[in-house]
Amino acid sequence: MSKVIVSSLYDSDVFRMACRQFDKAADAINLPDAIRDRTKYPRRCLAVALPVRRADGSVTVFEGYRVQHNLSTGPSKGGIRFHQDVTIGEVAALAMWMSWKCSLVGLPYGGAKGGVIVDPSRLSESELEHLSRRYMQEMVNFVGPHTDVPAPDVGTNEKIMGWMMDTYSNHVGHVVPGVVTGKPIALGGSQGRREATGAGVAYLVRKYLEDLRIPIGDATVAIQGFGNVGSETAVALANYGAKIIAISDYTGGIFNPRGLDIRKAVTYVRTQKVLHNFDGGEPISNETLLELECTVLVPAALERVITKKNASRLRCRLLAEAANGPTTNEADKILEQRDDLELIPDVLCNSGGVIVSYFEWLQNLSNYYWSIEEVMTKLQATLDKAKDSVDYQKRKFKFSRRLAALTLGIQRVADAKESRGLFP
């Protein structure tokens, strides 16, 4: 019965995709029926209407959500997405993946996610601030440093996290930096948080290339999405000596087989907001970028871009899933058959973001702040441990790397639920 109610609320392609991934992993570890649905479905959600006065005096009401998937091992954790295509089903799927990710890398967090249906590029700075503050005002009783800790995701950034932290702190009457992570450093943000997701992706790419005995200096890289994650991944991989041959954003891509000047691209996007007309190479479409011949392909934009149509046409050696959910289940089946392609699954690949968010939260709770060296050393040690456990699980059970990562994450959440028992 509960199955029908819950799945109809969240029903969407992406939620069904997350559920099918869960079912496959639960079958692989023989998760008992009594614990399955409790582990699978989101615990609770909140939908809110957000009225914002526009620059012309009119009022627009935006719709926002927060889904808390699991709170068994600590507060839930997950970003807030501002995008015109957000649905509650997408937010629920992203919250599920956050649970498996936090559990996989050993953080004492459950998973959550938030979203607002809005194209932030169409709002003025002050409209964006009002929307962000109104969202947090509506969430005041639903989030908190010991309940649920938001962070940036697509369309949100550290400035927005700063407004949200200020709104929450004003409400409770004292400064609460630990209510969100990914804040400006001046407000208790962590050294390295802005770079963390991309730095983690690049670090894991380097490690997997070492396993494949491919010198990073010989590697060519194509990256879809040039926001926080895509651009920081590009910068870190270029610093390691890799050649970035293609980048893109929602306006299209740029390709240069001799290598792109990533610093120039970052500066260009900082001023122009988009890559459109960046003159470092030839224009290409996002679809073509995914099928370029390269050593490493990094989808770092939205979900479900690698499908049954293009999965057999990917020409990379390593697919590093910086985005959440970039590969459909149908595509995944095709990739599993391909011996010529290694995959770093999203829950491992982009976990650097939530790992450093955890470090930020620890620093906020203790009021003791770490150096960038300390943050990066601990990030790399955490990623090394997670990578080793995934690869061990993969070898031991002859799983795909995605199945290995998901089974580890899911098993630990299920174990925690089992140990807590069922209330009442």
Helix spans in 117-218 (H): 125-139, 158-172, 193-211
Tokens of 109: 């967090």
Contact 224, 299 (CB under 8 A): yes
368 forms beta bridges with: none
Q: What type of residue sits at position 303?
A: E
What gap in Å lies between CA 4 and CA 11, rounded to an integer?
Answer: 10
- Catalytic positions are 113
* Closer residue to ligand NAD, CB minimum distance, 26 or 86: 86
Q: Which residue number places its CB atom closest to ligand NAD? A: 227
DSSP string of 34-54, one letter each residue: HHHHHHHS-SEEEEEEEEEE-
Q: How far is the CB of 184 from ligand NAD (least distance, A)?
A: 15
Q: What type of residue sits at position 309?
A: K
Contact 153, 161 (CB under 8 A): no
Q: How far is the CB of 397 from ligand NAD (least distance, A)?
A: 26
* Closer residue to ligand NAD, CB minimum distance, 85 or 210: 85
Q: Chain centroid to CA 169: how far?
A: 26
Burial of 388 (0-12, 13-18, 19+ CB in 10 A): exposed
Q: How far is the CB of 33 from ligand NAD (least distance, A)?
A: 31
* Closer residue to ligand NAD, CB minimum distance, 87 or 197: 197
Burial of 330 (0-12, 13-18, 19+ CB in 10 A): middle
- Specify the 3-state DSSP secondary structure of 279: coil
Look at the block and give the residue holding tokens 């249906």. 117
Q: Chain centroid to CA 48: how far?
A: 23
* Closer residue to ligand NAD, CB minimum distance, 75 or 182: 182
Binding site for ligand NAD (CB under 6 A): 79, 152-155, 197, 224-230, 248-250, 286, 300-302, 322-324, 350, 353
What gap in Å lies between CA 160 and CA 199, rounded to an integer?
Answer: 22
Look at the block and give the residue holding tokens 């690869």. 391
* Closer residue to ligand NAD, CB minimum distance, 166 or 249: 249
Q: How far is the CB of 233 from ligand NAD (least distance, A)?
A: 9
Q: How far is the CB of 113 from ligand NAD (least distance, A)?
A: 8
What gap in Å lies between CA 341 and CA 338, rounded to an integer?
Answer: 6
Q: How far is the CB of 191 from ligand NAD (least distance, A)?
A: 15
What gap in Å lies between CA 172 and CA 92, rounded to an integer?
Answer: 28
Q: How far is the CB of 199 from ligand NAD (least distance, A)?
A: 11
* Closer residue to ligand NAD, CB minimum distance, 246 or 413: 246
Instruction: Report the Cα–Cα distance between both ends of the chain, in Å, rounded.
Output: 19
* Closer residue to ligand NAD, CB minimum distance, 31 or 318: 318
